[in-house]
């Protein structure tokens, strides 16, 4: 049985949450392990910010449990001791689906550390089943590798993704495009997939859509853009604009596209940091937005203004995105929502 057979579907991220799941960083697996202390401070800020809006469950390696518990005394944070390799629960955690009766279940996607980039990943591949067991939810095992950061839905039958990631041969070389698309539809119960071509330049995830574009509402998409022709992201984001301008959603609507200008280029050593305001996260009544400061101060203000105009009823809660990015991703990458049931 598949979720579609039982009328389960993946709800939009902005619907009510019961709680948010995150994982605590693991120093041995970090892209920049020397920054572990600063990254942990960034995660502490992020977890505390989310806990202002809704409860948090934090997956923690057992050896770190006592130390991490001490950081969140008096906050609406509980802990799930669980061995894991990496801190990106969006990508190795379960995707929760809901049926019309409000019953929830979880999709256990295959996980191979973004196309085999970081070994080992066996503990991370076991996280989703362990989380679903902890939550007491039914488990659907999907026959393909897929990270949660590579898909975004509007809750009304439409999904955004990128060919660069979902069709990458380092994920599912045995499957055709048609097979991948059918599996995704069967397990999330979407009717139409809007395929962008590429994600941002330098993104180690091979173009996750959660750095590029997301739905703000059915029929409305926010897109990070670059207006500097000398920047590698210029061609990428202008192409994405053209694709979205020509697209219609599952209900036949033309899309309204809201643009957010990207932050200025920041290098960390020889590596371009994948800075994105689109890597924000919906919480109950708010949005957790990474901002970057320094040369990005004006771009930060612009992003806050665009999001506040787009979501006038939500509080825009900013955090220091430069702390979390040194672990390799940002706010949305770390989080996984548990939709409220009935």
Count helices and strands (H / E) in the chain. 12, 18
| Residues 331 and 290: beta-carbon distance below 8 Å | yes
Instruction: Output the domain CATH number for residue 69.
Output: 3.75.10.10
Give yes or no: 165 in active site.
Answer: no
Residue 145's Cβ-side half-sphere holds a number of Cα atoms within 13 Å equal to 21
Give tens-digit pLDDT for 270-279.
889 999 999 9
The Cα–Cα gap between 164 and 168 comes to 6
∠ Cα 197 308 230 (to 5°): 40
Domain that holds residue 234: 3-339
> What pLDDT is attached to residue 325?
87
**DSSP bridge pairs for 20:** 56, 337
Could you give phi then psi for residue 56, rounded to 5 degrees? -125, 135
Give tens-digit pLDDT for 279-324.
999 999 999 999 999 999 999 999 999 999 999 999 999 999 999 8
> What pLDDT is attached to residue 292?
96
The Cα–Cα gap between 242 and 263 comes to 21
Among the listed residues 40, 165, 226, 333, the single catalytic one is 333
The Cα–Cα gap between 101 and 104 comes to 9
pTM for this structure? 0.97
| Residues 165 and 208: beta-carbon distance below 8 Å | yes
> What pLDDT is attached to residue 326?
75
Count of structural domains within the chain: 1
């Amino acid at each position: 049985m598949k979720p579609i057979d039982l009328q389960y579907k993946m709800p939009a991220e902005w619907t009510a949450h019961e709680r948010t799941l995150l994982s605590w960083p693991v120093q041995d697996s970090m892209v920049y392990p020397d920054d572990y202390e600063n990254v942990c401070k960034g995660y502490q800020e992020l977890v505390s910010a989310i806990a202002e809006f809704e409860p948090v469950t934090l997956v923690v390696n057992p050896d770190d449990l006592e130390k991490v518990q001490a950081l969140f005394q008096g906050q609406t944070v509980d802990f799930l001791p669980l061995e894991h390799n990496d801190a990106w629960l969006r990508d190795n955690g379960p995707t929760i689906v809901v049926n019309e009766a409000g019953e929830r279940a979880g999709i256990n996607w295959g996980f191979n550390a973004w196309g085999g980039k970081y070994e080992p990943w066996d503990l991370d591949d076991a996280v989703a089943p362990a989380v679903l067991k902890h939550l007491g939810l039914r488990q659907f095992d999907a026959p393909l590798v897929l990270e949660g950061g590579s898909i975004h839905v509007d809750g009304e039958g439409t999904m955004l993704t990128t060919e660069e990631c979902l069709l990458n041969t380092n994920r599912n070389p045995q499957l055709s495009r048609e097979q991948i698309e059918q599996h995704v539809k069967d397990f999330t119960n979407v009717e139409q997939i809007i395929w962008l071509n590429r994600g941002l330049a330098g993104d180690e995830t091979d173009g996750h859509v959660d750095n590029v574009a997301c739905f703000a509402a059915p029929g409305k998409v926010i897109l990070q853009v670059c207006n500097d022709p000398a920047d590698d992201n210029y061609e990428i984001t202008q192409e994405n604009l053209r694709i979205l301008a020509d697209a219609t959603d599952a209900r036949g609507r033309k899309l309204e596209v809201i643009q957010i200008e990207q932050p200025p280029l920041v290098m960390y050593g020889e590596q371009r940091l994948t800075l994105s305001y689109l890597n924000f996260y919906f919480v109950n009544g708010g949005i957790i937005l990474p901002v970057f400061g320094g040369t990005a101060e004006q771009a930060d203000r612009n992003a806050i203004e665009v999001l506040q105009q787009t979501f006038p009823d939500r509080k825009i809660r900013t955090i220091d995105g430069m702390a979390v990015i040194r672990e390799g991703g940002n706010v949305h990458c770390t989080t996984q929502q548990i939709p409220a049931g009935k």
